[in-house]
Structure 1
Amino acid sequence: MEGMLRIDGREIRLKATAATPIRYRSEFGVDFFKDVYRFGVSGNTIAKSDSGKAVTDEELNAIELDCVYRLLWAFAKEADKDILPFMEWLESFDVLPFTDCAKAISPLINKLMQSKKQKTPTQISRGKGKKKKK
């Protein structure tokens, strides 16, 4: 799956593949899915704040911008193998708006987390799982 994000007038291509979690761990030494969980916690806190609800100090302290930026860079790296190393890439932007970044990477994360039920050989041979004609 691919996506796009515009930052500082630049279009950043994003891509998620089966290799993304492995490459992420190799690059950052952190489990991809643990950071996805941290991203979810941070995103929920931001959404709560944006809706006008009170946010506790504990919730604010749980926001991990570096996790979001690592995820963003990993998806950008999947789309363009020639992008700068992580810190140099971050330094090439004046700002990286958290909300815009989160919205751009969410569909990619969701796609990687999706599972599809596979048909068993028995279901295939019996014709189960086929759509019925009307």
Structure 2
Amino acid sequence: MRKLPILICSLVFNSACAGPDGDALARLRALGAASQCRQATDCRTVPVGVRACGGPASYLAVATADEAAALELARRHAAQRREEMARTPEPPSTCEMIRDPGAQCVAGRCVAGNTALPSE
């Protein structure tokens, strides 16, 4: 029965330790999912995460109105990932370069890549 209070305390402690940066990726994804647009110029891509040899792990499409907030969240997430990678004995990713897919406005939403074209 003593395990339950310890578990609850550790969960509270871990969430408190995560601080405002702990949920940066979730907040960034939510910002991207809520990005609305009327045309492609209303959208931008933001680099997300880091790779072992540098560069972002991926890109996320966001509305230009949310670009500054998205860049700050992406910066926080990248710093967190660098710390995690420094504690890991082996690099968790390859050294391949990920190209910026660009952003499009599709059905009123900002999306990464040229998804407006049909796939073959």
In our comparison, the structure showing a higher alpha carbon Rg is: 1
Q: Could you tell me the TM-score, scaled by structure 2's length?
A: 0.29
Which has the larger share of helix? Answer: 1
Q: Could you tell me the TM-score, scaled by structure 1's length?
A: 0.27
